Amino acid sequence: MSDKVSRRQFAALAGLSAAAIANPLDGADAKAAAAASRESGFPAGFLWGTATSSYQVEGAVNEGGRGVSIWDKFVRIPGKIEDGSTGDRANEHYHRYKEDIALIKELGCKAYRFSIAWPRVFPDGDGKPNAGGLDFYNRLIDELLRNGIEPWATLYHWDLPQSLQDRFGGWRSTETCKIFGDYAAYVAEHLTDRVKNVFTLNESGRFVQFGYGLGIDAPGLTLPQREVNQIRHNSALAHGLAVQAVRAHGRHGTRVGPAENIDVCVPAIDTPEHVVAAEIALREMNAGYLNVIMEGRYTDAFLKYAGADAPKYTDAELKIISSPVDFLGLNIYAPQNYVVPSEEGAGFRPLPIPKSFPHMSSDWLRIAPETMYWVPKLAAKIWKTDAIYITENGTSGDDVVSPDGKIYDTDRIMYLRNYLAQLQRATAEGVPVRGYFLWSLMDNFEWVFGLSKRFGLYHVNFDTQVRTAKLSASFYRNVIAKNAAGV
């Protein structure tokens, strides 16, 4: 969900070349194996999970010694949140985590992706840590493990300590990057005896562009493109510093990687030339963050396009940014670009999305199940990774409580069934997707939409805090039990 204008302009990139996409499996035997896998389901050991984030669910913003985040301040600016709500209370997950973990267990999930609120652990971002804040995550992790659920922690899901925004301009300064590395080291030292998988930053593409470029998200700034590009570089540097911190301070065997809302590029037609165009597009449209992390360099086309607005950096920073990761987390919801081959510019041309393109209750959430096939397939080839996790996928819905008290969200089931079928198609062809985290466990505070957009498998009455399973919870439970998409 990054800026549409910049994506369209980026199509003017200078020419590049690319090799054709090779199917990981070739020949009649491979086709037979893929067909059999599609019938049998996902690979053995496939990890099924669900996800939330700290500010969206925890509430208790003034409890346990937690400091103020940029979202605590932003939600109080008139007109910024669609329904005028805040995350002050949210889902009361801070107090109801045992109840919510029981819901995860009820689904049959074996993993839970949650984020750690930086200002809960370090109220000012740095300085003296808050023992009470860390203790909450200790209790959460222990309860997960008692219920046979593996904790997967995200270090940053947008709730930057307001003190760092006030003192350094937030991600505008490399001081914040260094402090983030220190925070990552502290968390790794204290939690990786039980947390074996750590994500660094969630969705740099969203929080940089929307928070510092468009002013839509916290901290609500509208900076020139040169500064936005530099902030994006800084976020990549923060990622690299966090990777190094986890390596240095985490227990042996701790794995670490990014979780990014990749700018999705899909071939308009499944022909070799269209697939090559989509491969080029996926690399170049993500050149400002994911690609520099995975390759350790900015592409020539990116630098040429950015021109005088290109970020300033050193070789030493690029080395930190490209610190080896153990997996690649991809948040996949909707296509940003259908692409066709082009003899001009970069070798691809993004097509405009027609007004009639189908979407879910959120206008931006266009329905394109094939994204779940093409994106991991192309990403694995481009960045030569052998471990991909779908760290977010799901949909909002117009959930209505029926007279019988139930929520029959067949729209969400339709969406999930089709996306998971395409993911199963990818794994059947050998694409190294190792797990899937459904967004979200329950309805929560959905950023600028407040409480008006519902993404959960469990309906939440935000007045009473009662959780009610939607029909989609039964669907997902069945998928997990069968280890298959159910088509």
pLDDT value of residue 38: 53
Residue 40 preceded by cis peptide, ω within 30: no
Q: Give the DSSP letter of residue 213.
A: I
DSSP code, position 90: T
Query: How large is the average pLDDT for residues 240-264?
Result: 98
The verdict on whether residue 56 carries a ligand-binding annotation is yes
Confidence class for position 39, pLDDT limits 50, 70, 90: low
Q: Is 439 annotated as a binding residue?
A: yes
Q: State residue 344's pLDDT score.
A: 87
Does pLDDT of 252 surpass 90? Answer: yes
For residue 247, the tally of other CB atoms under 10 A from its CB is 15
* pLDDT surpassing 50 at residue 170: yes
- For the cut 90, the answer to whether the pLDDT of residue 121 exceeds it is yes
Is 465 annotated in a binding site? The answer is no
Report pLDDT for 33: 47
Query: So what's the pLDDT on residue 59?
Result: 98
pLDDT tens digits, 353-378? 999 999 999 999 999 999 999 999 99
Place of tokens 């935000």: 462
Is the omega angle on the peptide bond into residue 350 within 30 degrees of 0, that is, cis? no
Across the strands, what pairs with 338?
A: 266, 351
Whether 7 has a pLDDT exceeding 50, the answer reads: no
- The reported pLDDT for the residue numbered 250 is 98
Cα-based angle 443, 71, 65 (whole degrees, multiple of 5) = 95
Averaged pLDDT score across all residues of the chain: 93
**pLDDT greater than 80 at residue 10:** no
The mean per-residue pLDDT over the stretch 440-449 comes to 98
Mean of the pLDDT values across residues 37-49?
87
Question: Would you say 244 is a known binding-site residue?
Answer: no
What was the pLDDT predicted at 80? 98
- In the predicted model, what is the mean pLDDT of residues 275-296? 98
Question: Distances in Å between the alpha carbon of 452 and those of 157, 365, 446?
Answer: 20, 15, 8
Please check the confidence at residue 22 and state whether its pLDDT lies above 60. no
Q: Using CA of residue 74, residue 225, residue 374, residue 46, what is the dihedral sign?
A: negative
pLDDT greater than 70 at residue 11? no
How confident is residue 4, by pLDDT bands cut at 50, 70 and 90?
Answer: very low
**What predicted TM-score, i.e. pTM, was given to this entire model?**
0.93
Number of C-beta neighbours around residue 145 at 10 A = 13
- Residues whose CB falls within 8 Å of the CB of residue 179, separated by 6 or more in sequence, listed in order: 125, 126, 164
Sheet holding 348-351, edge to edge: 265-267, 337-341, 348-351
Residue 468, Cβ density class (10 Å: 0-12 exposed, 13-18 middle, ≥19 buried): middle
Q: Is 186 annotated as a binding residue?
A: no
Q: Note the pLDDT tens digit of each residue in 385-418.
A: 999 999 999 999 999 999 999 999 999 999 999 9
The answer to whether 338 is annotated as binding is no
The mean pLDDT value for 217-233 works out to 98
CA distance 102 to 93: 12
Which residue ranges form the domains of the chain, and what is each CATH number? 47-482 (3.20.20.80)
Residues taking part in catalysis: 203, 392
CB-CB contact of 55 with 147 (8 Å): no
